[in-house]
Amino acid sequence: MRLLTHNMLACNIKGVTNGYPLRLEAEKWVEKEVDFNADFLRGAFPKIEWPALVGAVRSLGCHDLLPQDAPNPSALDSDDDFLRRFHRALLQLHVEEGALVCPETGRRFPISKGIPNMLLHEDEV
């Protein structure tokens, strides 16, 4: 699972109002090469929840990959170095094993072989 997907995922349990962001507990992660495309990054940037992305990147142990505060959107046009790092954080870091934890209920969604198990129990629907 890439951090792009993690950034989009929210807890789906019935009655949960504050199910975002899911806390990432990564036990194992890998880096995979993905083609760089600046247009995609510019399109995706406004949709990204920056604090959630930074939190996820830090939980993987990459503390200085991204700045704490969301950069000005103009940095996307001018700052190539930032774009590369944004690209790496969003698309190249894959979480292989671990869990996603709902911030409100503490429910754990295990991740195995890179696939989060988001199936809900019957009483959670």
Partner 1 sequence: MPRPELQAPPEIFYNDTEARKYTTSSRIIEIQAKISERALELLNIPNDGVPRLLLDIGCGSGLSGETLSENEHHWIGFDISQSMLDVALEREVEGDLLLADMGQGLGLRPGVIDGAISISAIQWLCYADKSSHEPMARLKAFFGSLYRCLTRGARAVLQLYSENMNQSEMIMKAAMRAGFAGGVVVDFPHSTKARKAYLVLTCGPSSTQTSLPKGKGEDGETCSDDDESDDDDEQTVGIYDRHRPAKRSKITKKGKGKAWVLKKKNQMRNKGYTVPPDTKYTARKRKNHF
The stretch near partner 1 (CB under 8 A) out of 39-47, 53-61, 63-71, 79-87 is 39-47
Phi-psi region of 91 (alpha: psi -120 to 50; beta: other; left: phi over 0): alpha
DSSP label at residue 120 = P
CB of 15 to partner 1, least distance (A): 13
Contact flag: residue 9 with partner 1 (CB under 8 A): yes
| Residue with Cβ nearer partner 1 (47 or 63) | 47
C-beta neighbour count of 104 within 10 angstroms? 14
Number of C-beta neighbours around residue 31 at 10 A:
11
- Per-residue binding string, partner 1, 66-105, x by CB under 8 A, is -------------------------x--------------
**CA–CA distance, 31 with 37 (Å, rounded to integer):** 17
Min separation Cβ 34 and partner 1, Å: 8
Nearer to partner 1, 1 or 63 (CB): 1
Report the distance separating Cα 109 and Cα 74, nearest Å. 36
Residues found near partner 1 in the complex (CB under 8 A) = 1-2, 4-5, 7-12, 19-20, 34-35, 37, 39-40, 43-44, 47, 49, 91, 113-120, 122, 125
